[in-house]
Amino acid sequence: MSVQTEIKSITVTELRRMKAAAERIACLTAYDASFARVLDEAGVDVILVGDSLGMVIQGHDTTVPVTMDDMVYHTRCVAGACRRALLIADMPFMSYATPEQALRNAARLMQEGGASMVKLESTNMQVETVAQMTAQGIPVCAHLGLRPQSVHKLGGYKVQGRDEQAAKAMLDMALALERAGADLLLLECVPAELGEEITKNIEVPVIGIGAGAACDGQILVLQDTLGISHNEPPRFSKNFLQGENDIPAAIKAYITEVRQGSFPAPEHSF
């Protein structure tokens, strides 16, 4: 019997074991019970209820309009179908501006929504917030690289960390967040070389989305993997439904390619 079939549910400890054993972590987003069940039964390790729902579910141009009530509702929908996968919920725009606000809203996502971990887009401002959250027993996934909630400040959806100074700053930030107690790191839209460097230099698992193949795991927006994106699909995504007979088969194909390291390929990286 394989290790995967023996595990009843994925935990933070199991994700760390997978990193240490060089077993790649397969993650996807979900926003409702039906898709969450398909992902969970297919063997996805982590399900993220992302504030990307603002774009793929609500039809907005950015994630900024998503509210805490939206996130609690969709997290609760997904939690009811999650049996094996670790469930992470995004903290939406301006829901963690202060440590006190972050603690209050993270509690909502866990108590009302049923999340096992929360994710927040991180800068220097969030290091103390992460420290206070983890001190209270809240598992945290820190998000570096492209931060979609800051799209208006960044001037669009652009690759981050291209120059040497920006890359060093991102590595330093990853190390600071790890010291603050972050249990997981998500890297979005960074050069593959930087993704590899960060992955090698921190002990917590690193999940990439447009961050190269060397990360400990990969995540995509579910709709992108099925070719039904509301907007133009990003370069780092792939339609796994092509060549498959149904959605469960497409999800299993994604998991297989992540586990084998064949996704992302060079054409999906920066």
Look at residue 82 and tell me whether its pLDDT is greater than 70.
Answer: yes
pLDDT at 148: 86
Q: 47 lies in a domain?
A: yes
**Residue range 110-131: average pLDDT?**
96
Residues 121, 188, 197, 257: which is the catalytic one? Answer: 188
Kindly state the tokens that stand for 14: 């199991």
CA–CA separation, 44 and 88 (whole Å) = 13
CB 184 within 8 A of CB 141: yes
Q: 257 lies in a domain?
A: yes
pLDDT at 109: 98
Q: 157 lies in a domain?
A: no
Q: 198 lies in a domain?
A: no
Q: Is 212 left (phi over 0), alpha (psi -120 to 50) or beta?
A: left
Average pLDDT, the chain: 94
Query: Band of the pLDDT at 176, cuts 50, 70, 90?
Result: very high
pLDDT at 102: 98
CA–CA separation, 38 and 195 (whole Å) = 29
* Domain range enclosing 235: 3-140+213-261
CA angle 78, 123, 264 (to 5 degrees): 55
Look at residue 231 and tell me whether its pLDDT is greater than 90.
Answer: no
Look at residue 75 and tell me whether its pLDDT is greater than 90.
Answer: yes
Look at residue 243 and tell me whether its pLDDT is greater than 70.
Answer: yes
CB 43 within 8 A of CB 4: yes
Please state the length of the chain.
270
Q: 17 lies in a domain?
A: yes
pLDDT at 7: 56
pLDDT at 30: 98
pLDDT at 5: 46
Number of domains within the chain:
1
**Which positions ≥6 away from 74 have C-beta within 8 Å?**
31, 32, 49, 53, 57
Beta strands in 23-170 (DSSP E): 25-29, 46-49, 86-90, 117-121, 140-145
Express each pLDDT in 14-56 by its tens digit: 999 999 999 999 999 999 999 999 999 999 999 999 999 999 9
* CB neighbourhood size of 93 (10 A): 20
CA–CA separation, 112 and 116 (whole Å) = 11
Lowest mean pLDDT among 97-101, 207-211, 229-233: 229-233
Q: 179 lies in a domain?
A: no
Look at residue 1 and tell me whether its pLDDT is greater than 90.
Answer: no
Look at residue 164 and tell me whether its pLDDT is greater than 80.
Answer: yes
CATH number at residue 222: 3.20.20.60
pLDDT at 2: 40
CA distances from 136 to 102, 127, 175, 220 (A): 11, 15, 20, 30
**Which positions ≥6 away from 6 have C-beta within 8 Å?**
none
Active site residue 121: no
pLDDT at 6: 52
Q: 199 lies in a domain?
A: no
Q: 188 lies in a domain?
A: no
